[in-house]
């Protein structure tokens, strides 16, 4: 592997110069989350005899408290689960639907080209709690009350706010601070808590306790649902008690492509995981390893592959209950070859056509857990953008997601057009890699439209460039922005290639010569967690990158 990078960390005895720390190694269990308190809660559950799924739910509940700008029970949930007993991957889609009383005509009659980000209109049914119970019923061991207890205790006793989360809360509250219930929950003393300040959310602790005692129906058919219904009616919202009571989740078959001998798994639409697989199919036609990590040649074909995949993402990815999605064609080798042929090795494209087949903002939390029996969970959960809709129902302690903002309200014939009871296009995606039918890596990263791009880069880092699990996440990333969107916008100027500071200027200069518009930014490149498994030695490897507050830990 050819590397020409500036050192981004202190000098280390081993590994690449950009690596922030060693991989974590353990035999009995491993957890990697975006906040250390959540990681420790997961390990505590594993040590009590809980399964990987038990630990993942406990960690997710803690994250909903300690990372409230990104996730929580007002949002949705997706998972890929490796079950050691059946030696099989299971996929889970826990996304909620649009209110039955909301239609595209509402927006078209008012001349609104997009669903707003904030307030009541983008709120869709939260799928998280139903997802917890469905996943727990299939893969859990300990009672739900035990899994929620760590989060309940932190909510009442308080916890010190960690550095990156404090920064995100302080940076992103202005747009939603006047939404009803927000300030009283998340702005004690008139502002969000600063790093190191102890933050309490007793309302959320009480809500968790109701769920622990009353089960999923406490959320969808009990006092919590009635509170949400009253609150939405009071503030002009359309999400109703009936919408909550009718909610269901879906078990789905994960989809995959084989990349140089490794099977990479994602979930089918309404999520965007297919885009990562399409990118890998295109990239497999190049000798990526010989190009070298960080080279202009590699970054160029990676960016152009992203542009191609995201044109299909904008056209085809939507709720499969309302559309026939040509997944087999999109993931075929022949289709990838045709798309690859559109790439000019010397010039960045201003636009690409979507495939001729029949019929970006975001914040999230990703976590992964493995237990002593070989079960592994790849789980992602989100309220969409920072602090989502900003709507906090009376006394419940959590914000309602704004995932409905992702609907297309310009074109009634579009696959992702808003319809009553339809699930919107979704950005959050868990991932998994197997080799020869056995588990290899459970991974994911957070950050809206960066996720498929990040997934593809992690796979290439592991497979083509031979990086270890920690290096694959720490390595500098690109993020291309400006592609056509499922909400209706169209790329005509080639978009912008954002590069982290670790890339060599020579590569940046060559990319500019190829016509790429180059930009730099901080905080838009995702947050990666991963667990690998060495079946020969029966050892887990954990990784958590330095872009977030996260921690990988095992025992």
Q: Which of 161, 172, 169 is nearest to 199 (CA)?
A: 161
Q: Which of 450, 69, 484, 434 is nearest to 262 (CA)?
A: 434
Question: Residue 364 catalytic?
Answer: yes
Pairing of strands 518-519, 496-499: parallel
Give the C-alpha distances (Å, rounded to integers) separating 36 from 43, 201, 377. 11, 18, 18
Q: To 10 degrees, the CA torsion angle through 184, 189, 195, 197?
A: -100
Question: How many Å apart are CA 284 and CA 27, to the nearest integer?
Answer: 34
Three-state SS at 304? helix
Environment class of 276 (CB within 10 Å of its CB; exposed 0-12, middle 13-18, buried 19+): buried
424 in Cβ contact with 98 (< 8 Å) = yes
Question: How many Å apart are CA 318 and CA 312, to the nearest integer?
Answer: 11
Residue that the structure tokens 């201003």 belong to: 350
| Secondary-structure breakdown of the chain: helix, strand, coil percentages, each rounded to the nearest 5 | 35, 20, 45
How far is CA 232 from its chain centroid?
27
503 in Cβ contact with 51 (< 8 Å) = no
307 Cβ contact partners less than 8 Å away, ≥ 6 residues apart: 349, 352, 480, 483, 491, 494, 495
Residue that the structure tokens 């997944």 belong to: 327
Q: Which of 310, 303, 270, 277 is nearest to 427 (CA)?
A: 270
Write down the catalytic residue from 19, 185, 364, 427.
364
542 in Cβ contact with 31 (< 8 Å) = yes
Give the C-alpha distances (Å, rounded to integers) separating 49 from 53, 104, 372, 375. 11, 49, 9, 13
Give the C-alpha distances (Å, rounded to integers) separating 436 from 110, 480, 529, 543. 54, 33, 23, 23
Question: How many Å apart are CA 314 and CA 342, to the nearest integer?
Answer: 18
Three-state SS at 195? coil
> Catalytic amino acids?
364
């Amino acid at each position: 592997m050819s590397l020409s990078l500036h050192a981004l960390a202190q000098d280390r005895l081993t590994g690449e110069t950009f690596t922030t720390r060693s991989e974590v190694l353990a035999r009995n269990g491993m957890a990697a989350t975006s906040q250390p308190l959540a990681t420790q809660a997961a390990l505590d559950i594993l040590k009590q005899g809980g399964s990987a799924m038990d630990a993942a739910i406990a960690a997710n509940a803690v994250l909903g408290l300690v990372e409230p700008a990104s996730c929580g029970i007002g949002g949705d949930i997706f998972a890929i689960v490796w079950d050691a007993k059946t030696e099989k991957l299971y996929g889970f889609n826990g996304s909620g639907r649009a209110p039955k009383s909301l239609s595209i005509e509402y927006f078209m009659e008012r001349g609104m080209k997009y669903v707003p980000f904030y307030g009541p209109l983008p709120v869709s049914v939260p799928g998280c709690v139903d997802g917890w119970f469905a996943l727990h019923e299939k893969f859990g061991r300990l009672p739900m009350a035990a899994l929620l207890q760590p989060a309940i205790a932190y909510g009442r006793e308080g916890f010190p706010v960690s550095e990156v989360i404090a920064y995100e809360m302080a940076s992103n509250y202005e747009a939603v601070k006047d939404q009803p219930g927000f300030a009283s929950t998340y702005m004690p003393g008139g502002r969000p808590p600063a790093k190191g300040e102890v933050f309490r959310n007793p309302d959320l602790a009480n809500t968790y306790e109701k769920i622990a005692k009353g089960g999923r129906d406490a959320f969808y058919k009990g006092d919590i649902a009635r509170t949400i219904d009253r609150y939405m009616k009071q503030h002009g919202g359309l999400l109703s008690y009936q919408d909550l009571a009718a909610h269901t989740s879906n078990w789905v078959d994960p989809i995959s492509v084989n990349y140089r001998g490794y099977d990479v798994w994602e979930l089918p639409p309404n999520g965007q995981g297919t885009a990562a697989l399409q990118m890998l199919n295109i990239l497999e036609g190049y000798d990526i390893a010989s190009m070298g990590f960080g080279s202009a040649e590699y970054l160029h074909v990676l960016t152009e592959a992203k542009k191609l995949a995201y044109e299909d993402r904008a056209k085809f990815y939507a709720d499969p209950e309302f559309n026939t999605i040509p997944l087999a064609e999109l993931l075929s080798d022949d289709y990838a070859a045709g798309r690859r042929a559109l790439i000019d090795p010397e010039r960045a494209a201003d636009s690409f056509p979507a495939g001729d087949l029949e019929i970006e903002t975001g914040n999230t939390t990703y976590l992964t857990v493995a237990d002593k029996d070989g079960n592994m969970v790849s789980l992602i959960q989100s309220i969409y953008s920072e602090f989502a809709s900003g709507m906090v129902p009376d006394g419940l302690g959590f914000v309602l997601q704004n995932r409905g903002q992702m609907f297309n309200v310009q074109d009634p014939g579009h696959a992702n057009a808003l319809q009553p009871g339809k699930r919107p296009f979704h950005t959050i995606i868990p991932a998994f890699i197997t080799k020869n039918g056995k588990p290899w890596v459970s991974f994911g990263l957070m950050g809206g439209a960066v996720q498929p791009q990040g997934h593809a880069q992690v796979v290439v880092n592991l497979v083509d460039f031979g990086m270890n699990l920690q290096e694959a996440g720490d390595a500098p990333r690109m993020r291309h922005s400006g592609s056509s969107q499922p909400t209706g916008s169209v790329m005509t100027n080639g978009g912008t290639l954002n590069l982290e500071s670790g890339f060599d200027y020579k590569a940046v200069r060559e990319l500019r010569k190829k016509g790429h518009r180059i930009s730099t930014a901080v905080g838009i490149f995702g947050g990666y967690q991963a667990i690998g498994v060495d079946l020969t030695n029966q050892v887990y490897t954990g990784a958590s990158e330095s872009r977030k507050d996260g921690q990988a830990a095992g025992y």
